[in-house]
Structure 1
Amino acid sequence: MADERAGQRILHVSSAFDIDFPGGITNYVRTLAASQVADGQSVFVLDGGALTDWTPHGLGFAVRGDDATRVDHFSLRSPEDAAKSRDVLQVVRAVRPDIVHFHLTIGLGVEFYRRFSDLGVPYVISLHDYYLYCPRITMMDFTNEDCGGPERAKCERCIGVLDQVDLLRRGARKLSLPLPRIRSSSVTRRNDVIAGFFARASRVLAVSGRVEELFRRVYPDAKYLTSHIGSASALVERPAPTRSDVLRVTALGTLSKYKGAEVLAAIAGRLPRDRVRVRFFGRVDEPRWGRLAEQAGIELRGAYVPADLPGIMADTDVGVMVPVWEDNAPQVVMEFLNYGIPVVATRMGGIPDFVDERNGLLFDHRRPTEVDRAVQFLAAMTATQAASYRERIGRLETPDSHRRELRSVYAASLVG
């Protein structure tokens, strides 16, 4: 295990992925854990990796996984293996943490939520996605559309009997065939248990106002606090923009249905190509989205790594982020703004917490007149106007400022 240190013993739980996986949540937990180590805390991370013994990480914390935290494939069935839940509880007990901070709990199972408070350890929960009431994680329903928010009858129809049979669900998805709707109360029973898990938490940290609003519908008795996560991009030195004869519009991340591939193509296809150039950096989820993007005149520039961001941002005048799901708090938006780049984005999830008329444009992708407004905004933008945004867009919260906020949250949790 990690060296004993003065200060708190903090255990972060982030299942399903190895802590070094380059994803938004793991990047956040890794950065947070490292900053807490630098602050003199003893920090442990229970992740979804292959390690089964506590092992020192290069950033100073200790890390290990467990059979219950490793997820072989996504399933709509809530794990029922009580033995695995007890194993994880024993791992937590052995660490002797002063506080546990939950980030991802996929794989832990309903028994874990029911029994965790028996340990008597204070804990907080961060809401990075919607898994703790929506087994589909994204609130995109069985028709692959935004469901608009949780409701018991609607959820029981969406997470139906046949949907929970992995072979049927995966086969139907592959063949693009709808499964018959047979309602199931399993999601309600699951969420009834998780309601107790929420109610007993010292704090439930919503990463945006919209996330808190949605979770309150299901778990109104929790002690919520909206807490914007810190981004390392708030510390970067902004590169000087390179010169260009056209407006350079950049999208980053994953090109997929949920991330708004169709919305991005609809906008790009209407922009004047002699004056506006649209580029996408990242992974293409399915070949059809790549074809759609290219037909709309979008340049697919391939995957990128964090070290590429300064160069990408120097060649960017406007950023675009157009998810069609309630994206909790997209770090790409934070990165654009911290680099001084104005953002055109859908009014979804946590984005309105960060984007407004002072640093870009919000629009409702479901309303044609709003899409028209986004097209007009980009078509009328000049490089000079984009440069003026760089001068007035401030930086968002840093990892250290967020760590200090969490230190206060932890302290309050420890005194009851």
Structure 2
Amino acid sequence: MTKILHVSSAFDVDFPGGITNYVRTLASSQLAAGNEVAVLDGGEHETWTSHPLGFMVRGHRATRVQHFSLRSPEDAEVSDSVLDVVRELQPDLVHFHLTIGVGVAFYRRFAELGIPYVISLHDYFLYCPRITMMDWRNTDCGGPEKHKCERCIGVLDQVDLLRRGGRKLSLPLPRIPSRSVTRRNEVISDFFGAAARILPVAARVEELYRREYPGASYTVSHIGSESALAPRLEKTSSARLRLTALGTLSKYKGAEVLAALARRLPKDRVEVRFHGRVDEPRWGRLAEEAGIDLRGPYRPDDLPGILQETDLGVMVPVWEDNAPQVVMEFLNSGTPVLATRMGGIPDFVDERNGFLFDHRSEAELTAAVEFASSLTPERARAWGASLPRLATPADHQRELGRIYEEALTA
């Protein structure tokens, strides 16, 4: 039996998000395998309590992030108080997922505890304080580079009031470079170097992180999905091909790309639906003008019915989305996927189960439209029925077990 501590800050472990869903599922899977498991999350509770799934959970004032900020906290006292929680628990191994709020000193001092640890890379926070690598102009920056990052995370960007005001008024702040992100990443470089293993969730994530921290020990680890265990429901019939996008309609999630696809698709043969939240009214207007059927927010128990009425899933982020679980939901339900060639998506989607395109290329956007236009509902459903399932949480837990064992015996 191994005593495992998962660190996942910023959100309560029960928050319905990709990383928290993953941590919750992993913790319960490891518990079922006979381990002792605890989660330090971003929740309100500051004493250890038993989660309904059986593992122990608590929050901390540092891990409970009130609002997003580009400042890197340097309060050593706060970092030490988080370290005290780890010391008191005395885990055999710590698995980091999100560390927003713990402070720069935490990375410097954690290795001194002598506890083996691994780090899962679910996003880009550990080299990009903006998390998504979407820069101050709201465009994909392409990856870390010292002077570019110092200009993007500038002096004024770290003043929360100015950053929020500029965003609200759509006014870019003047560029005054700051070395704070460089100093922060130098500390995190040592934190990576002392880790037993760094676990990017996709090959592209490893590629990007290696640019900033080339000396760490990386192993790509695809997460398991509970959707691989769900019964595969038979698709309902439809005269038109039904394309479905899920989640949040926003710039980062590809609202403009989705609208561009919808405008060009033949509406007598193809319909495009969106289930989820609209980030800003302008994206809703853009979608409606393109002929997209906005179905509104959905609950988790609505998803099986939505997938039954989907012939082709659509996932078109314009940021390097690490390992979108919506793609896993689509594929495990027997639904081929049309997606942008971004982030971790190519690890899961290729010509055997979908179609990838570069949204920045007019020729590739046209090819994506031609692909969807040529696909009949019957052919899409037959194709989907033949798709294999992806890894389950138990498969992933066994893989992690081997990595943990190596970390503990190193």
Q: TM-score, normalised by structure 2?
A: 0.99
In 1, distance between residues paired with 2:249 and 2:387? 27
Deviation at 1:391, TM superposition (A): 2.8
Question: What amino acid sits opposite 1:164 in the alignment?
Answer: Q
Structure 1 residues 11-37: Cα deviation after superposition (integer angstroms, max 9, x where no partner): 000000000000000000000000111
Q: Which residue of 2 aligns with 1:157?
A: 151
In 2, distance between residues paired with 1:246 and 1:75? 45
In 2, distance between residues paired with 1:285 and 1:248? 23
- Which of residues 262, 265, 279 is equivalent to 1:268? 262
Is 1:48–2:37 an aligned residue pair? no
Q: Which residue of 2 aligns with 1:4?
A: none
Q: Which residue of 2 aligns with 1:361?
A: 355
Q: Which residue of 2 aligns with 1:406?
A: 400
Query: What SS does structure 2 have at the residue aligned with 1:210?
Result: helix
Deviation at 1:309, TM superposition (A): 1.4
Question: What amino acid sits opposite 1:190 in the alignment?
Answer: R
In 2, distance between residues paired with 1:359 and 1:339? 12
**Residues 65-76 of structure 1: matches in 2 within 5 Å?**
65-76=59-70
Is 1:137–2:143 an aligned residue pair? no
In 2, distance between residues paired with 1:386 and 1:14? 38
- Which of residues 285, 300, 318 is equivalent to 1:324? 318
Query: What SS does structure 2 have at the residue aligned with 1:102?
Result: strand
Listed as ranges, the gaps of 5+ residues in structure 1 are 1-6
Structure 1 residues 129-150: Cα deviation after superposition (integer angstroms, max 9, x where no partner): 0000000000000000000111
Q: Which residue of 2 aligns with 1:3?
A: none
Structure 1 residues 249-285: Cα deviation after superposition (integer angstroms, max 9, x where no partner): 0000110000000000010011111211110011111
Deviation at 1:388, TM superposition (A): 2.0
User: Bigger CA drift: 276-285 or 301-310?
Assistant: 301-310
In 2, distance between residues paired with 1:160 and 1:390? 47
In 1, distance between residues paired with 2:58 and 2:275? 32
Listed as ranges, the gaps of 5+ residues in structure 2 are none
Query: What SS does structure 2 have at the residue aligned with 1:28?
Result: helix
Is 1:394–2:394 an aligned residue pair? no
- Structure 1 outlier segments of 4+, above 3 Å: none
Deviation at 1:310, TM superposition (A): 1.2
In 1, distance between residues paired with 2:75 and 2:281? 37
In 1, distance between residues paired with 2:141 and 2:266? 34
Q: Which residue of 2 aligns with 1:208?
A: 202
Is 1:227–2:236 an aligned residue pair? no
Query: What SS does structure 1 have at the residue aligned with 2:264?
Result: coil
Question: What amino acid sits opposite 1:377 in the alignment?
Answer: F
Question: What amino acid sits opposite 1:365 in the alignment?
Answer: H
**Residues 55-204 of structure 1: matches in 2 within 5 Å?**
55-204=49-198
Q: TM-score, normalised by structure 1?
A: 0.98
Question: What amino acid sits opposite 2:32 in the alignment?
Answer: A
- Which of residues 13, 23, 28 is equivalent to 2:17? 23
Identity %: 70
Query: What SS does structure 2 have at the residue aligned with 1:225?
Result: coil
Alignment RMSD (CA, Å):
0.6
**Residues 328-339 of structure 1: matches in 2 within 5 Å?**
328-339=322-333
In 2, distance between residues paired with 1:49 and 1:218? 31
State the aligned residue count. 410
